Amino acid sequence: MRWTTLLALALAAPSGAVVRFHCSQLVVTRIDPLVNPGSIPSSHVHQIVGGDAFNATMDPKKDLPAESTCTSCQMSEDFSNYWTAVLYFRAQNGSYKRVPQLGNNQFEKANGGLTIYYMQDAIYDQTQKSKVQAFQQGFRMFIGDVSARSLQDAARFRQLTYVCMDTWTMRAPETMAFPTRKCKEGVMTSLRFPTCWDGKNLDSPDHTSHMAYPETGTFESGGPCPVSHPVRTAQVMYEVVWDTKKFNDLEWPKDGSSPFVWSFGDATGYANHADYVFGWKGDALQRILDAPCWFNTNCQKESNSKLQSIDLMNKCTQKSIVNEDIDGWLDSLPGGYQADHGHTTV
Ligand SMILES: *[C@@H]1O[C@H](CO)[C@@H](O)[C@H](O)[C@H]1NC(C)=O
Ligand SMILES: *[C@@H]1O[C@H](CO)[C@@H](O)[C@H](O)[C@H]1NC(C)=O
């Protein structure tokens, strides 16, 4: 009976085009080898996942799988580093408290961190139509703008969003600004990176211009890449679940604004941003992207890739090399920032 069901499923489910996996928290610290290389501390607090070779300085020539002793990611050949800023709650007395993270849906036992997607086609498209090129050693990219404070600023980037989750699996509607109401189960941020590569530069001075969006349409609609950036890569997406539940009992701003503030002071939410440093072992990512597989299986069988348990993921952590309080009730955000609502006063 069980076999019949599995076989029926296997026959019915067309080859999918998505891999989804979780990475537990490696460290929460003020380090940023991409934007502030060498700075200890960097400008603002981040939450980082992936290989434990993460450091304030990361030479693109170094082989991360060889430099790391473990990874906090479920795909055990992935020693990349993925990171975002962290969220703070601003109380009515002006003090800040860090909002912790949760494991995502189906990864509830994970210690915080974030969920990673690599897609060849639209997430809901169950047929693998496209072949996409994996990134390579030394590749890095960034998405978003830390100085964005308006919808117009944020609209330059596609799909950097928030969901105010009333249920654990709620994924819509998405907004580009912080939620202004209490969310029963927490807040999810989603970040989708651009998908067209210039084919030459592993990085660029602003960490974004070597990548571009499709010329027309979107990655999901199969939009073609511009001639300047002709190589179609995977769509990388992060999902981060912020555990805002305990802040629902506190007083919220009376003017209806959001009490949330990014660790660099943005109180609008428009400066949602993320960093990516590629570090997959050998051709492991290309193998996964070429395999016809569906995300619930994580392509383990189809691509001959290895998974590790959530227990092992949770064990891969790093001690912060910055000695400061980031978790108490704070008068200002680490690095000295205050909430910036972006209103221009005349
Ligand atoms: C980070 O870099 C410093 C300086 O090069 C080094 O001493 C330290 O061991 C590195 N940490 C890790 C986790 O690799
Ligand atoms: C500010 O408010 C928070 C939340 O009520 C409280 O826990 C904290 O102790 C307060 N801080 C100060 C400096 O009063």
Q: How far is CA 252 from CA 93, 218, 247, 271, in A?
A: 11, 37, 9, 21
pLDDT of residue 296: 57
**Average pLDDT estimate for 223-229:** 96
The residue to mutate among 329, 330, 331, 332, having the most atoms of ligand 2 within 8 angstroms of its beta carbon, is 329
**Which of ligand 2's atoms lies nearest the C-alpha of 329?**
8
Does residue 53 have its Cβ closer than 6 Å to ligand 1? yes
Q: Which of 30, 47, 37, 60 is nearest to 87 (CA)?
A: 47
Report the percentage of the chain scoring pLDDT > 90.
Answer: 80
Q: What secondary structure letter does DSSP report for 279? A: -
Does residue 35 have its Cβ closer than 6 Å to ligand 2? no
The residue to mutate among 88, 89, 92, 95, having the most atoms of ligand 2 within 8 angstroms of its beta carbon, is 95
Between CA 101 and CA 47 the distance in angstroms is 9
- The residues, any chain, with a CB within 8 Å of residue 288's CB and separated by 6 or more, are 19, 75, 118, 299, 303, 305
Task: Answer whether residue 339 shows pLDDT above 50.
Answer: yes
**Which of ligand 2's atoms lies nearest the C-alpha of 331?**
13
Q: Rounded to the nearest 5 degrees, what angle is found at the Cα of 195, between the Cα atoms of 194 and 197?
A: 105
**Average pLDDT estimate for 104-127:** 88
Does residue 93 have its Cβ closer than 6 Å to ligand 2? yes
Task: Answer whether residue 12 shows pLDDT above 50.
Answer: no
Q: How confident is the model at residue 170 (pLDDT cuts 50, 70, 90)?
A: very high
pLDDT of residue 163: 98
- The residues, any chain, with a CB within 8 Å of residue 168's CB and separated by 6 or more, are 105, 185
Please, which residues bridge with residue 140 across strands? Answer: 277
pLDDT of residue 303: 80
Q: How far, in Å, from the CA of 53 to the mean position of ligand 1? A: 8
**Average pLDDT estimate for 67-82:** 97
**Average pLDDT estimate for 111-121:** 93
Query: Do residues 99 and 260 lie in contact, with contact meaning Cβ atoms separated by under 8 Å?
Result: yes
* 95 CB-contact burial (10 Å; exposed 0-12 / middle 13-18 / buried 19+): middle
Strands (E), the chain: 18-23, 25-29, 46-50, 81-85, 87-90, 96-98, 101-102, 114-119, 140-143, 160-165, 186-192, 196-197, 211-212, 231-232, 235-242, 260-262, 274-277
Burial 154-173 (b: 16+ CB within 10 A, else e): beebbbbbbbbbeeeebeee
Does residue 329 have its Cβ closer than 6 Å to ligand 2? yes
Ligand 1 atom 10: the closest Cα is on which residue? 55
Q: How confident is the model at residue 345 (pLDDT cuts 50, 70, 90)?
A: very low
pLDDT of residue 9: 38
Name the closest ligand to CA 29: 1
Name the closest ligand to CA 331: 2
